[in-house]
A and B are shown apart, each in its own frame.
Chain A
Amino acid sequence: MHPAPSVIIFTSLSGLGFGLLFWLGLGQPAPTGWVGFGFFFIAYALAVGGLMASAFHLGHPERALKAFTQWRSSWLSREAVAAVATLVTMGIYAALLVFAGIHVAPLGWIGAVGCLATVLTTSMIYAQMKTVPRWRHWSTPALFLALSLGGGALLSNNGWAALVLLTVAAVLQLVAWFTGDTRLARSGTDIGTATGLGGRGAVRQFEPPHTGTNYLLREFVHVVGRRHAQSLRVISFGLAFVLPVLVLALGLTHVTAAIAVLSHLAGVFALRWLFFAQAEHVVGFYYDKR
């Protein structure tokens, strides 16, 4: 799959933003005044910034309001509804907390559940794709949630929670990689079933249908850069999990916390790039490419 920067930025930033909002909604912490403003500003900048980036991915962003209508059937529509409902709920909670010093705990809990729902719906957009066997697995939503909550815990200074959740996320990431690498081969789809000719012999592409490229090849058959995937896996794993967990285990100061957050964010960006770049869409079989 083509690793579009807009989608990588969107899933990474809004995942972190909603993760931070989750902890703020739980009241861990429940800051008031300027400190509270700072916390909520960062959370909203990440969450809304991510959503704005995703709008750049659209061919017709001016029609985006229509995307709120099909929540009965579409995970993308559910995500849009969940994101806006959560941001509105948490906005009211934040305004009361920051400007009036009133902590309406149940409203925060509702918002926290909304954060989980938003991240879950985002991950289900990918996990639902039968056409991308690597993504169609329980580890996709589990990893998205663990990364979001772990990153949020890191940002909200919940050291122990961050330590546990980032460790869980690291294990889930390994599960996703090791099971995902063979899932396309195990899916039963190959050039033989794609063409229906597999029973007759070995099928290979003789001539492509067009000499130039097209939308399908650009969007779904991303081969460039996979060469460096293994080294990028090691780097991203170190940045997203190992370094932050080490820093957390040694104890947080303002400086080390900043290092942990920046390292984690860089790692998540790289992980998301791999999430898309390494995902193979079955349409590639028609072009005899992965």
Chain B
Amino acid sequence: MTSLPSHTDKKLGLVIDLDTCVGCHACVIACKGWNTENYGAPLADTDAYGAKPEGSFLNRVHSYEVQPETGAAQLVHFPKSCLHCDDAPCVTVCPTGASYKRVEDGIVLVNETDCIGCGLCAWACPYGAREMDPVEQVMKKCTLCVDRIYNENIPEVDRQPACVRTCPAGARHFGDLADPNSAVSQLVAERGGMDLMPEQGTKPVNKYLPPRPKDEVPEFDVLGPYLEPVAETGTGFVAWLDKTLSALPGGAK
């Protein structure tokens, strides 16, 4: 059913720390790997070894430069995947009921056998979280690794989305954002977690932690004292050498 549930018991989602992300794209690859081998149609590539390779991905890492009015510019790596919105516009536009939001945990999923590949859900998503698979011609999106997080056949430590499990920087966190006491909710409260495009009214579940302010260190050169000239004017041989070398074409004046 493409109507949204009025309430979900949990709000499973991600908290992404823009301060910590180093832009290594490991989450992109882990996501592609897991979701090509497991739930639903594999994430296809076209012309993978040719001149114009492309493919479907559920998670991509952008990089932005932020230039404040004063001070140095800052580079921010920005992973982006489905935000599992509370008011998901992608779900309500679906004509077949293939897109749905789960009542039990709030995950937004696509039933691929019902998808006609019209692409309207991707039109409705402001975040670019949905991509049409170029081979299967069905809509692909982040499942929050629904086949990992409840999977009792894998060790408990692995029961997290592949992107979170693989992140070497610890920039991605997974949990229940409806529970104010969960680690992710506390992280959001502590660090001022934010919504992307709040004006679109999608009420995203995933939150982004803004980069922390940079330390302001007074300008100080540790080598400075050692590089001070020992003497401004020399005497004797040194003075003669200095004068002679300076007189040569191209010599330091």
Contact = CB atoms under 8 A, between A and B. Distances in A.
Interface of A: 1, 57-61, 63-64, 66-67, 69-70, 72-77, 80, 125, 128-132, 187-189, 191, 193-197, 200-210, 212-216, 219-220, 281-283, 286-287
Interface string B36-53: 000000000000000011
B200 A130 contact: yes
A197 B195 CA distance: 11
Contact of A286 (B62, B89, B136, B211): B62
B19 to A, nearest CB: 12
- 3 closest pairs, A vs B, by CB? A59-B117, A59-B137, A201-B68
B92 A200 contact: no
Contact of B53 (A59, A212, A220): A212
Contact of A215 (B3, B56, B197): B56
B182 interface: no
Contacts of B3: 72-73
Given A196-B210, A204-B64, A212-B52, A70 B138 contact: no
B120 interface: yes
Interface of B: 1-3, 18, 28, 52-57, 60-69, 73-76, 78, 80, 89, 92-98, 114-120, 122-128, 131-132, 134, 136-138, 194-201, 208, 210-211
A160 B186 CA distance: 68
A43 B244 CA distance: 99
B76 A195 contact: yes
Contacts of A202: 66-67
A281 B198 CA distance: 16
A129 B121 CA distance: 10
Contact of B116 (A64, A129, A131): A64
Contacts of A129: 123-124
Contact of B96 (A67, A131, A213, A216): A67
Nearest to B213: A200
A189 B66 contact: no
Contact of A63 (B65, B116, B134): B116
Nearest to A81: B95
B36 to A, nearest CB: 16
A60 B115 CA distance: 7
